[in-house]
Amino acid sequence: MDYLLFLLILIPFVALSGWASAKVNSAYSAYDAVPNSARMTGYDTAIRLLQRNGVRDISVNRVNGRLTDHYHPTKKQVNLSQSTFGSASVAAVAVAAHEIGHVMQKKEGYFPYRVRTALVPLANLGSRLAMPLIIIGILLEVLLFAGTGSMLGQWMMYTGIALYGMATLFMLVTLPVEYNASSRAKKMLVSEGILTEEELPGAKKVLSAAAMTYVASLLISLVYFLRFLMIVLSFTRRR
């Protein structure tokens, strides 16, 4: 019954994730077919916004794939996907400006961005080690210390839950970072004359659809975190 309840809660969020991914692709495809009035590509947009904001130490590069755009702060790179780099569409400049929004967050010391950056190592560690530690902890309790209980097994389970919680916290902090980057992007696009007020709704649809994928990922991660936490707490109570 517990597992059935878990599935009933999880399935709508998985469906939301699939819908959000489809929405991103459809919104991008629709507005990638609409040229912006300034005839600027994603690359042109990124370069102009960096220069206008006094950022001189960030390179703009092309990377393989579609919608694989990202900002790499350590390498000081804004990497634009093939679908964004050379396209002069409303969608392309929206995505490029969003990545420059992240650059400005770092430059200005935007607090949620700093928190997310600090959580990156723990989030990466949690995503790799959380599940193995939880499983090993439960196996130690069941197989090796039946009847007496194992502090080692319990601590491994608790550590796994804590690491998974860090990964979930990272996703939570990511939401304001992504929404803020999109807000910055829309303002910069209009103030620099890259998009007109009439073109801006198209950019908003692309950026809003992308943001929904982060919401869906957070909800799924939170459901799994609560599921694992309940399993471990229930198991330790019985022990």
| Distance in angstroms (rounded) separating the CA atoms of residues 133 and 138 | 9
Cβ burial of 145 (10 Å; 0-12, 13-18, 19+) is: middle
Catalytic member of 99, 141, 178, 199? 99
| Distance in angstroms (rounded) separating the CA atoms of residues 76 and 78 | 7
Which tokens is 75 given? 């390498």
For residue 36, give the DSSP letter.
Answer: -
Q: Is 197 a catalytic residue?
A: no
Sign for the CA dihedral angle at 19, 24, 28, 31 comes to positive
- Catalytic (active-site) positions: 99
